[in-house]
Structure 1
Amino acid sequence: MKLNSDYWEDRYQNNEIGWNVGKITTPIKNYIDQLKDKTIRILIPGAGNGYEFEYLIHKGFKNVFVVDFASTPLENIKIRIPNLDKNQLILSDFFELEGKYDLIIEQTFFCAIKPNLRENYVHKMNSLLNPKGKLAGLLFQFPLSENGPPFGGSIQEYKKLFEADFKIKYLEIAYNSIKSRKDNELFFIFLLK
């Protein structure tokens, strides 16, 4: 199976989006609520319908960007937030994205890419972050298999994958996950080395 833009567009067109909970999830909301500097540049890759993006915009953050492979979720964001700068919605392959950001929020993107691309993901995050930049969000915690997406992983795997490029500030089971993801999500904050 090719997890390309056609695959994801088809999933949206057929409403096969089981990961979509229809709102921002509690761990990400609580993390955003403690952010003070509303001028930082924030990226949300594989943003889907972008509820995190919408929340940030409503909280007064101006330099927020989403990137997605599929056009339908970006169109859904435009409908919900009609006065956006069109440059904030990026239709692109994440691995071809350019730019620099202070914070990248991870929410169901990492688990959607094939496991053989995970090292590329880490290197790309490294290249997109400004010095002292942060990568924060949620990673799934269940056995890794080829039967995805979503693809799982474990704390040990994530530490091994990220520790060369990032200082692991926090990586623990999310205490405030939504009910359907309870004990299967890890909240993390990684600082660029």
Structure 2
Amino acid sequence: MKQEFNADYWQNRYHLGQTGWDVGAITPPLREYFDQMPNIGQRILVPGCGNAYEAEYLYRKGFVHTYVADVAEAPLQRFSERVPDFPKDQLLLQNFFQLDSKFDLIVEQTFFCAIDPSLRPNYARKCAELLTTGGKLVGLLFDTTFEQAGPPFGGSSEEYRTYFEPYFKFLHFETAYNSIPPRQGRELFMELRKLGS
């Protein structure tokens, strides 16, 4: 029987502490990208946010229109306890594919690798749908395969391009130079702009 990666599945993973993807902090590629972003007024979404270190970093830098979404309640509760002044209405206990707001930036950090690979074309389309004119999708993708059954699920840059090319212009899509040591040479940094923008 096929495993369903639903809210109960992820809630259980957090409850059992099975969060090997979680490095306990924002990773250098995203931190460096955020440090050079000028527009603190933009609306930002971190989907499948987990413990949301990226959202915490952005919020502390003045990006107050940052939203986090996850299907599991546990990481949202932990995030709310860690960042008590973060607006509660920007904590979205929702399935990414059912969101209907508009954002200027979507931040990808270990969500794409967590969803069933059959949903990857839908993910690319949904990101484009949620982005405003000129909006960007920025983040990291695993450029490797994993020995154990996922999630996380791996893949290659060639595969990923097929999902994003119908909807995005590729500004950056290359091996991250500043990954944490365990992921060195195994991560792609992407900065994609919605087509028609």
**TM superposition score category, shorter chain reference:** over 0.9
List, as ranges, runs of 4+ consecutive aligned residues in structure 1 with deviation greater than 2 Å: 143-147
Amino acid across the alignment from 1:98: D
Query: Deviation per CA, 1:45-97, whole angstroms, max 9, x where unpaired?
Result: 00000000000011011100000010010001111111221111100111111
State the shift of 1:155 in Å. 1.1
Q: CA deviation at 1:142?
A: 0.9
Is the contact made by 1:136 and 1:188 (CA closer than 8 Å) also made in structure 2? Answer: yes
Output aligned runs, 1:36-51, within 5 Å: 36-51=38-53
Aligned residue identity for 2:107: I
Work out whether 1:164 is the aligned partner of 2:179: no
Pair 1:145–1:114, CA change in 2 (3 A)? farther
Paired with 2:85 and 2:134, the residues of 1 have a C-alpha distance of: 31
Name the Cα RMSD after superposition.
1.2
Alignment of 1:1-193 (within 5 A): 1-143=3-145, 147-193=149-195
SS of the residue corresponding to residue 131 of structure 1 reads strand
Q: Would the alpha carbon gap of residues 36 and 111 (structure 1) be closer, same or farther in structure 2, given more than 3 Å must change? A: same
Alignment-mate amino acid for residue 103 of structure 1: L
Deviation at 1:147, TM superposition (A): 2.2
CA distance in 1 between counterparts of 2:157 and 2:125 reads 19
Q: Mean Cα displacement is larger for which, 127-136 or 158-167?
A: 158-167
Per the TM alignment, residue 126 of structure 1 is displaced from its structure 2 partner at its CA by 1.0
Q: How many residues align?
A: 193
- Does the Cα contact within 8 Å between 1:8 and 1:69 map onto a contact in 2? yes
Aligned equivalents of 1:102 and 1:146: distance in 2?
35
**CA–CA separation in structure 2 for the residues paired with 1:80 and 1:166:** 34
Is the contact made by 1:104 and 1:136 (CA closer than 8 Å) also made in structure 2? yes
1-structure distance, mates of 2:97, 2:51: 20
User: TM (normalized to structure 2)?
Assistant: 0.95
Does the 8 Å CA contact 1:159/1:168 hold for their aligned counterparts? no
Deviation of the 1:146 alpha carbon:
8.8
**Could you list the runs of 5+ residues in structure 1 that have no partner in the other structure?**
none
State percent identity of aligned pairs: 49
TM-score (norm 1): 0.97
Q: Partner letter of residue 70 of structure 1?
A: A
Q: Which amino acid aligns with 1:172?
A: E
Distance in 2 separating the partners of 1:24 and 1:161: 26
CA contact (8 A) 1:39 1:61 kept: yes
Q: Which runs of 5+ in 2 are unaligned?
A: none
The residue identity in structure 2 corresponding to 1:170 is: H
